Amino acid sequence: MSDLYHLLMRLSDINKEYDIIIAGGGVTGAGIFYEAVQKGYRVLLLEAKDYAWGTSSRSSKMVHGGLRYLKQGKFLLTKTAVKERERLLKQYPGLVMPLKFIMPVFGHYGPSKASMKIGLSIYSFMAREKQHESFSRSEVIKKIPGIRQKNLISAVGFKDAQVDDARLVLRLIFEGCFLGGTALNYTKVIGIQRNRKGRLAAVSAMDEESLSSVEIKTKVLINATGASAEALHPFPMKKSHIRPLRGSHLIFPKSIFPLDRVISFIHPKDLRPVFLFPWEGSILLGTTDVDHDQDMKMEPFVTMKEADYLMEGLKHILPDFDLSLNDCISSIAGVRPVLSKKKKEASRESREHVVYKDKGLITVTGGKLTTFRRLANDALKAAKPYLPKPVSTNFKEKITAQPVDEISHQIPKGIEKRLSGRYGALGYEIIRQYDEELFCPIENTKSLWVEIPYAAEHENIGHLSDLLLRRVRVGLLLPKGGINLLDRIETLCRPYLSWDNKKWDKEKKAYIKLWKTCYGPPRKKEP
């Protein structure tokens, strides 16, 4: 059995007993999966839709210490996040990248320069190095052309980091499979069975495509299904529940307003932080923080009200900047699972995670992308009483692959770093397929054509949307979702996907409809 075999298994192929089963293939579930496999447990991850289908492909892409949580007195949360940010920067170069921020300070609203300096000094202390600086009014005007000058005093700059959130999830899952774990997408946990003592004994799972189901023995099910967690395991404390909050972003071409750093500003309407930032050759504007009142079973979308809110904030900070929704090329909306004990303003709800358990059924929810490893370890700690002694393992050499020298010297170092960051040791499988034509960018994005057939062959593509919205992100980064490229994409993928002409036609139509409904500019979604 090859090391890549575990990436392509289906429900009928798997073992019928595991130490741990994880429901949910977002960053929390992926983090638990990777950590559990490394500890030597027999682990199965089941995702009802596609890996990173939910919030973990629709976040603000930031790996940050949570500067705003200092204002709320969440010092431990901030300290933990800063420590995890530094760890991720070291562990995933080429995937988690350092990013500069600049935040203008105004005299009539928002935080003062003094309070920002105090907060950033604490931030730097937690990172064990100075990571902030100050800019004079004239420097700010030069760095941010078109910025509102009325009541502008100065600005502060600081450092955080950025990630392709979906690729982080995929790397955790596929490297976990490479090390011996098993993961299935489009496979849903539909029930649990308990023994006479009430302890978890088995899980029922169903293949969403064939509708076939199996029963799998396990003493531990970790529920990491995010905003849907209570469907599997209701929260045990009265007057507490998971509150789904939607965060939305608008995406613009970078050519409209080239940025080398994040512009962080306070929205004048509700004094919430909003960001304008570069990502993957585009510019993102976000995020909102509103109750998610759409159907939880459907893909979320950005409403016109949210779009107007974001554009209002941008117009305030850059009053002379000629940008409108007509320039928007796409949008994304994600739903955050926040544990709510009492009704507060959405932005004031705690982002800390919570773990609760019931005789082998462990649920973890809440938290931040940056601290996913802490969530994973807390979930595994809660599961420990039900687990056998793990197998002693040493995976370090197995996941450290070396490039083929005669091939890698032909590839620019930036591309090699990007591929190894996004795919880990498996990235060298792509490098070994070096082809000058395929190692070119897909139009004006940073994605390479070679990533398309690689994903089709190795990364469990169930639908065309999996490929274009999560394996590579061209569906978000190109006008009209890149539909002009679908024929070439079909040609590259046909050797690896067993789709006939009818299936390809169906997938193309479904992708175009989905993009227009949930990922296109908001003006196209509402009459």
In the numeric block, the tokens 């593509």 are attached to 461
In a domain? residue 199: yes
Instruction: Tell me, yes or no, whether 116 and 257 share the same domain.
Output: yes
Q: Is there a single domain that holds both residue 196 and residue 149?
A: no
- Predicted pLDDT of residue 27: 97
Q: CA triplet 371, 373, 374: central angle to 5 degrees? A: 70
111 with 21, same domain: the answer is no
Q: Give the mean pLDDT of 190-202.
A: 96
How far apart CA 462 and CA 49 sit, in angstroms, is 9
**What is residue 150's predicted lDDT score, i.e. its pLDDT?**
95
* Co-location of 357 and 231 in the same domain: yes
Q: List, for residues 265-289, the tens digit of each pLDDT value.
A: 999 999 999 999 999 999 999 999 9
Clarify whether residues 248 and 331 are in a common domain: yes
Residues 212-270 have pLDDT tens digits of 999 999 999 999 999 999 889 888 777 778 899 999 999 999 998 888 899 999 999 99
CA atoms of 527 and 525, how far apart (whole Å):
7
Q: Are residues 216 and 279 in the same domain?
A: no
Q: Which helix (H) or strand (E) element contains residue 348?
A: none
Q: How many other CB atoms sit within 10 Å of the CB of residue 115?
A: 13
CATH of the domain at 328: 3.30.9.10
What is the rounded average pLDDT for all residues in the chain?
A: 90
Assigned domain for 397 exists: no
Higher pLDDT, 399 or 429: 429
C-alpha to C-alpha distances, 28 to 250, 326, 364, 370, nearest whole angstrom: 25, 36, 8, 10
Q: Give the residue among 22, 30, 54, 32 at the shortest CA–CA distance from 337.
A: 54
Beta bridge partners of 187: 207
Distance, CA of 149 to CA of 318 (rounded, Å)? 9
In a domain, 201, yes or no: yes
The total of structural domains in the chain comes to 3
Residue range of the domain that includes 129: 100-159+242-343
Same domain, 151 and 202: no
Helix (H, G, I), strand (E, B) or coil at 514: helix
Same domain as 132, residue 281: yes
Q: Give the tens place of pLDDT for each residue, 104-134.
A: 999 988 888 788 878 888 777 877 777 789 9
The CA radius of gyration of the chain, in Å to the nearest whole number, is 23
Q: Which of 120, 234, 166 is nearest to 455 (CA)?
A: 166
Amino acid symbol at 120: L
pTM of the model: 0.94
pLDDT band at 399 (very low <50, low <70, confident <90, very high): low
Report the amino acid identity of residue 57: S
Task: Categorize the per-residue pLDDT at 5 as very low, low, confident or very high, splitting at 50, 70 and 90.
Answer: very low
Domain-ending residue, one of 309, 343, 377: 343
Q: What is the pLDDT of residues 429-468, one digit of tens each?
A: 888 888 889 999 999 999 999 999 999 999 999 999 999 9
Q: Cis omega before residue 288 (within 30°)?
A: no
Q: Is residue 93 part of a domain?
A: no
Spatial contact of 493 and 467, defined as CB atoms under 8 Å apart: yes
The CATH number covering residue 195 comes to 3.50.50.60
Q: Are residues 490 and 520 in the same domain?
A: yes
Burial of 9 (0-12, 13-18, 19+ CB in 10 A): middle
Instruction: Classify the C-alpha dihedral 85-87-90-95 as positive or negative.
Output: negative
What is the CB-side half-sphere exposure of residue 255 using CA atoms within 13 A?
A: 6
Q: What whole-number distance in Å separates Cα of residue 447 and Cα of residue 331? A: 18
Q: CB of 464 within 8 A of CB of 457?
A: no
**Sheet (strand 187-194) strand order:** 187-194, 200-207, 213-217
What whole-number distance in Å separates Cα of residue 285 and Cα of residue 265?
Answer: 11
Instruction: Inform me whether the pLDDT recorded for 515 exceeds 50.
Output: yes
Any residues with CB less than 8 A from the CB of 115 and at least 6 apart, and which? none
User: Does the pLDDT value for residue 311 go beyond 70?
Assistant: yes
Structure confidence by residue, pLDDT tens digits, 56-93: 999 999 998 767 666 666 677 788 888 999 999 999 99
152: tokens are: 């502008």
424 part of a folded domain:
no
Please indicate, yes or no, whether residues 279 and 355 belong to a single structural domain of this protein.
no
In a domain? residue 507: yes
Residue 472 contacts residue 418 (beta carbons within 8 Å): no
Within this chain, do residues 474 and 518 fall inside the same structural domain, yes or no?
Answer: yes
- DSSP for 171-232 reads HHHHHHHHTT-EEESSEEEEEEEE-TTS-EEEEEEEETTT--EEEEE-S-EEE--GGGHHHH
The answer to whether the CB of 263 falls within 8 A of the CB of 275 is: yes
> Do 232 and 378 fall into the same domain?
yes
Residue 380 DSSP SS3: helix
At residue 461, the 3 state secondary structure works out as coil
Across 37-41, 298-302, 350-354, least confident range = 350-354
Rounded to whole angstroms, the Cα distance separating 409 from 224 reads 42
Question: What six digits make up the tokens of 157?
Answer: 């700059």
* Domain assignment present for 80: no
150 occurs within a structural domain:
yes
